């Protein structure tokens, strides 16, 4: 198992290395003169003269070949120097640490909310198949997983902030600021997990071992909690891990709409400002989040289900 974990770590490092190269190359392919666009953003839209652009490019090494620029950036990043923002002049590491911590707050609260809602809903639907409550909850799950985040965010902001005046529609700092972004992100994740739990439970309940247990007179609650639930736990954990990674996708939209200062809104601001050091690190941080979450999920599955240890 230690060898498999080491192999996964090596694969993850290779993947992040490739992502860093692709991200670096894509930034260089953006239209317009790279140095001129950056300098234009720093000067609040004032068109710089060519001498200033040439000096800026020279000072920042933009005239060097792109592979050399990448190597210089990678060497500094591995040494702990992530550079400085071209717009604010602040250290990139400082901005990232602050924004990541706020995004993690939103991610953890969203996933916890989704799990608290989704698992009971899925369980209740599977154990009341065909009843009106099953049909109603299933329909709500489909609506929840289908509705776009940006549209739901606007609806909730209009209803809870402008109409009812109960919750703030933007900003951060209090528990009330967390509620609306959390509900928006958790809605789609809840629908997906609830439908998955319902489907997996129904599949397991139709298996021969369940019929055998029923024929022997075993209580239904014991069958569910001692045999069925442990069987669906690894696949549910895998899906939950993937959804946790998906949450960070939704954050880019939700953080922008609710003005939540996380890594998603930082990426959007950086893209508008062409703030190259921040964009590059935002790409890497989000990609690293995916990789780390998948590694943790794989490791947890091997602990729960020894049968899959050879397959991971």
pLDDT confidence of residue 141: 87
pLDDT confidence of residue 183: 92
pTM for this prediction: 0.77
Q: Is residue 197 pLDDT above 70, yes or no? A: yes
Q: What is the pLDDT of residues 272-301, one digit of tens each?
A: 777 878 888 888 888 888 888 878 877 777
Q: What is the pLDDT of residues 119-135, one digit of tens each?
A: 889 888 888 888 888 89
Band the pLDDT of 308: cuts 50, 70, 90.
low
pLDDT confidence of residue 307: 63
Among residues 6, 65, 8, 15, the alpha carbon closest in space to that of 286 is found at 15
pLDDT confidence of residue 213: 86
Among residues 101, 102, 82, 104, the alpha carbon closest in space to that of 93 is found at 82
Band the pLDDT of 305: cuts 50, 70, 90.
low
For the CA atoms of the chain, what is the radius of gyration? 24
The contacts of residue 184 (CB under 8 Å, 6+ apart) are 149, 152, 153, 156, 250, 254, 258
pLDDT confidence of residue 215: 85
For 91, the 3-state DSSP assignment is: strand
pLDDT confidence of residue 109: 92
Helix axes 2-28 and 276-304, enclosed angle (nearest 10): 160
pLDDT confidence of residue 41: 66
Share of the chain above pLDDT 90, in %: 5
pLDDT confidence of residue 117: 92
- Residue 228: C-alpha distances to residues 208, 224, 231 (Å): 12, 5, 5
Q: Where are the alpha helices (DSSP H) in the chain?
A: 2-28, 34-42, 50-59, 66-78, 92-127, 132-146, 149-156, 175-205, 208-215, 220-223, 229-257, 263-273, 276-304
Q: What is the pLDDT of residues 23-77, one digit of tens each?
A: 888 777 766 666 777 777 666 666 667 777 777 777 777 778 888 888 888 888 8
Which single residue is written with the structure tokens 């890497």?
A: 284
The contacts of residue 142 (CB under 8 Å, 6+ apart) are 191, 195
Among residues 99, 110, 134, the alpha carbon closest in space to that of 261 is found at 99
Q: What is the pLDDT of residues 209-226, one digit of tens each?
A: 888 888 888 887 888 888
Token pair belonging to 41: 């953003």
Given a contact cutoff of 8 angstroms between Cβ atoms, the answer to whether 18 and 283 are in contact is no
Q: What is the pLDDT of residues 226-267, one digit of tens each?
A: 888 888 887 888 788 778 777 777 788 888 888 888 888 888
Q: Is residue 113 pLDDT above 90, yes or no? A: yes
Band the pLDDT of 1: cuts 50, 70, 90.
low
Mean residue pLDDT of the chain comes to 82
Among residues 256, 247, 288, 261, the alpha carbon closest in space to that of 109 is found at 247
């Amino acid at each position: 198992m230690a060898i498999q974990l080491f192999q996964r770590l090596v694969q993850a490092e290779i993947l992040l290395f490739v992502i860093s190269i692709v991200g670096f190359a894509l930034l260089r392919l953006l239209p317009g003169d790279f140095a001129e666009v950056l300098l234009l953003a720093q000067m609040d839209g004032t068109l710089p003269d060519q001498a200033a652009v040439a000096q800026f490019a020279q000072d920042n090494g933009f005239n060097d070949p792109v592979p050399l620029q990448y190597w210089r950036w990678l060497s500094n990043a591995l040494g702990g120097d992530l550079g400085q923002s071209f717009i604010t002049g602040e250290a990139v590491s400082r901005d990232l640490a602050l924004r990541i911590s706020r995004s993690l707050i939103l991610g953890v609260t969203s996933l916890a909310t989704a799990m608290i809602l989704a698992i009971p809903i899925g369980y209740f639907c599977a154990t009341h198949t065909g009843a009106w409550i099953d049909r109603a909850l299933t329909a709500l799950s489909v609506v929840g997983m289908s509705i776009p985040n940006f549209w739901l965010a606007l609806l909730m902001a209009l209803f809870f902030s402008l109409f009812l005046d109960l919750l703030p529609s933007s900003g951060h700092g209090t528990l009330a600021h967390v509620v609306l972004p959390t509900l928006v992100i958790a809605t789609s994740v809840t629908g997906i997990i609830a439908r998955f739990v319902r489907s997996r439970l129904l599949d397991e309940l139709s298996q021969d071992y369940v019929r055998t247990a029923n024929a022997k007179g075993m209580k239904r609650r014991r069958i569910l909690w001692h045999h069925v639930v442990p069987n669906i736990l690894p696949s549910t954990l895998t899906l939950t891990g993937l959804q946790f990674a998906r949450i960070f996708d939704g954050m880019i939209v939700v953080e922008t709409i609710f003005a939540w200062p996380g890594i998603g809104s930082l990426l959007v601001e950086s893209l508008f400002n062409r703030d190259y050091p921040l964009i590059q690190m935002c790409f890497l941080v989000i990609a690293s989040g995916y990789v780390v979450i998948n590694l943790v999920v794989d490791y947890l599955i091997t602990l729960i289900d020894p049968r899959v240890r050879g397959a991971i």
